[in-house]
Chain A
Amino acid sequence: MSIDNYEELQKFIDLNEHYRTYLDEHNNTRPDGRKFHENRSIQILKKFLQHSYGSSMIRFGNTTVICSITGQLAKPSLKSLRSGFIQTVVLLPRTQAWSTYGRRQQIINENLTLSQHLLDIIYKSKLINLEDLCIEEGKWVWCLQIDFQCLNNDGNLFDSCLLALNVALHHTYFPTVKIDPDTQKPLVYTKELKHFQYNQQQEPLCCTIAVYEYEQEYKYLIDPTLEEENIAKCILHYVLLKNDQICLIHKTSGAPFSIDKFHQCYSFAREYILELRRKLNQ
């Protein structure tokens, strides 16, 4: 990160001051030119990778995330003979370890919590039915491996990972597997691909809101960049399903929140996610 001009020098010395002086001069805009409720430009790329069953790449401004879905065969556990398995792994860029803002410990935990959140969302919103992953009851099931590789972290990983997941699932093709009745071994036909069945009605999408305290009142910054996430008092994640029902709310500590503030944020989240869905279905 090079310090080329006065603005970047100010950011390097004290990010908070920089934001405060910018908000003093310009009302209702953030340093990168957006209004508080505006999101960054989104680019979606489908079928990005060769070797995976489904893949996508999402760019929210500078944040770039690649999602890849592959499958492996496994024997089901004895507790539930019909369910398959899902594993989500989020990989943050190794380059983050050398950033000036990053504290190594914080970064290492962030991707684990993100992986677990994504797994929870898939499971709780019944986006992928574990029974759909069954090939033959008690013998062979699919173990879905969902890998997220973040190429650049400029804030708002949660939104981009979830959007990438939705786009990738839409275009996932699995090879057909039949069980050989004599040897009980699976026969994989890699040329015969069929579309992966998942619950398309539930489209969980996330809205990340960073709460910034300015002149005794809270400013809600939607789709925060990495700098905004660092200076924010607290960060809210709202995950909504297609019928606007709340799937997950996650709030980090820092700013005391009353119930009406939650309702206010919910309305922001709803509008934002509506726009995301329009983008997704284009």
Chain B
Amino acid sequence: MEQPDECFDPLQFAVDLNLSDIKNVNLDENVFISKGLINQANGSSSIESKSLITQANGSSFIELSATKVTCAIYGPRETSSTSDESYSKCLLETSIKFSPFARQHRIDPLSVQYDNDEDCEESELCSRLEEALLPCILLHKYPKSQIDIIIDVIEDDGQHLLSAIILSATVALIDACIELYDTVVAKSLKTNDSLFTLCYMPNLAQVSCIFFDGEATPNYLDELTDEAVKQCQLLHKAICKVVISDLKSAAALNRKIV
């Protein structure tokens, strides 16, 4: 079969796109957190594990309005790095990849991406994720090992990407039974053209980091911080609910087998 020489994105030629159309902000955003996908029982006799990615130590799937992100955690496992750092604490390796259908414009998965490409969004998101997670993992408990966090962005609606990534990493870390000081809950707020993301640790009542792109006065930033902290606490309750119900069902399953 032949392949075309050059492909054009149909959106380039779109006639009826309303760019000045401000989309209605969906005030009740749907949040869906799960460590596996919900298994609707249809009478089969097979025992299926409920985790999304079976090979991984921990995995999760987060849906925040239209953003869908899956995360898999491998670790702690032996590290191949022999640097001085690795002798005293655990190394964190993060990898984020977009699906070809994640955005309006298709991202060709077969095109090679060079590592020292400066405007590589994936590596920027990786470093932000690391910054957000480093304060909460007990790295000194896993010397000479590394934890791999692998994230697949299935769909991105522009606003919630960073918070979905951090939330999915948190839930997957809990699923992988890696020791944490506290869960990291992240919330993104979008106002006009600026995006504000806050990573919060609810039990310790500490902010792990803040990311902000745009223009704002310091007072406005204070307001945004307060608003985000309140919403983070709600998200934290949702995460707790999921973790506890998962633990209960796992305990029930174990009891059945034993």
List chain A positions with a Cβ less than 8 A from chain B. 1-2, 5, 32-34, 38, 40-41, 43, 49-52, 55, 59, 61-62, 64, 66, 68, 70-77, 79, 85-87, 89, 91, 93-96, 98-100, 119, 123, 143, 145, 147, 149, 151-152, 154, 175, 177, 185-191
Interface residues on B, range: 35 or more
Q: Which of B9, B52, B100 contacts A89 (CB 8 A)?
A: B100
Measured in the bound complex, the distance between the Cα atoms of B16 and A187 in whole Å is 9
Query: From residue A222, how far is it (CB to closest CB) to chain B in Å?
Result: 13
| A143 and B7 form a contact (CB under 8 A) | yes
Measured in the bound complex, the distance between the Cα atoms of B63 and A137 in whole Å is 43
| A147 and B100 form a contact (CB under 8 A) | yes
Stretch at the interface among B136-144, B149-157, B218-226, B231-239: B149-157
Measured in the bound complex, the distance between the Cα atoms of B104 and A188 in whole Å is 15
Main DSSP-derived SS at the B contact region: loop
| A145 and B100 form a contact (CB under 8 A) | yes
Measured in the bound complex, the distance between the Cα atoms of B49 and A152 in whole Å is 13
Q: A41-B44, A95-B72 are in contact. Are A79 and B2 (CB under 8 A)?
A: yes
- 20 A-B pairs with CB atoms under 8 Å apart are A1-B55, A1-B57, A32-B47, A38-B44, A43-B40, A51-B102, A51-B104, A62-B49, A72-B9, A72-B10, A86-B1, A91-B100, A93-B53, A95-B53, A151-B152, A152-B55, A175-B10, A186-B13, A190-B15, A191-B16
| Chain A: CB-nearest residue to B42 | A41
Measured in the bound complex, the distance between the Cα atoms of B6 and A73 in whole Å is 9
| A33 and B74 form a contact (CB under 8 A) | no
A49 contacts across to B, CB distance below 8 A: 101, 154-155
Measured in the bound complex, the distance between the Cα atoms of B11 and A54 in whole Å is 16
Q: A62-B48, A99-B55 are in contact. Are A185 and B4 (CB under 8 A)?
A: no
A-contacting residues, B81-118, CB 8 Å: 95, 97, 99-104, 106, 109-110
Measured in the bound complex, the distance between the Cα atoms of B7 and A73 in whole Å is 6
Interface bits B10-27 vs A (CB < 8 Å: 1, else 0):
110111110000000000
| Chain B: CB-nearest residue to A142 | B10
Query: From residue A220, how far is it (CB to closest CB) to chain B in Å?
Result: 18
| Chain B: CB-nearest residue to A51 | B104
| A41 and B57 form a contact (CB under 8 A) | no
Report the 5 A-B pairs with minimum CB-CB distance, sorted nearest first. Answer: A74-B4, A68-B101, A72-B7, A73-B8, A41-B44
| B11 and A190 form a contact (CB under 8 A) | yes
| A1 and B2 form a contact (CB under 8 A) | no
B193 contacts across to A, CB distance below 8 A: none
A147 contacts across to B, CB distance below 8 A: 99-101, 106, 109
| B154 and A89 form a contact (CB under 8 A) | no
Measured in the bound complex, the distance between the Cα atoms of B48 and A152 in whole Å is 14
A73 contacts across to B, CB distance below 8 A: 7-10, 13
List chain B positions with a Cβ less than 8 A from chain A. 1-11, 13-17, 37, 39-40, 42, 44-49, 51-57, 66, 70, 72, 74, 95, 97, 99-104, 106, 109-110, 148, 150, 152, 154-155, 157, 257
B44 contacts across to A, CB distance below 8 A: 38, 40-41
| B47 and A89 form a contact (CB under 8 A) | no
Q: A89-B100, A95-B150 are in contact. Are A72 and B54 (CB under 8 A)?
A: no
| B4 and A152 form a contact (CB under 8 A) | no
Query: From residue A219, how far is it (CB to closest CB) to chain B in Å?
Result: 17
B42 contacts across to A, CB distance below 8 A: 41
| B46 and A41 form a contact (CB under 8 A) | yes
| B46 and A74 form a contact (CB under 8 A) | no
| A89 and B109 form a contact (CB under 8 A) | yes
Query: From residue B93, how far is it (CB to closest CB) to chain A in Å?
Result: 11
Measured in the bound complex, the distance between the Cα atoms of B51 and A152 in whole Å is 10
Q: A1-B57, A91-B109 are in contact. Are A50 and B148 (CB under 8 A)?
A: no
| B70 and A151 form a contact (CB under 8 A) | yes
| B48 and A41 form a contact (CB under 8 A) | yes
| B46 and A32 form a contact (CB under 8 A) | yes
Q: A147-B99, A191-B16 are in contact. Are A95 and B74 (CB under 8 A)?
A: yes
Q: A33-B45, A147-B99 are in contact. Are A71 and B10 (CB under 8 A)?
A: yes
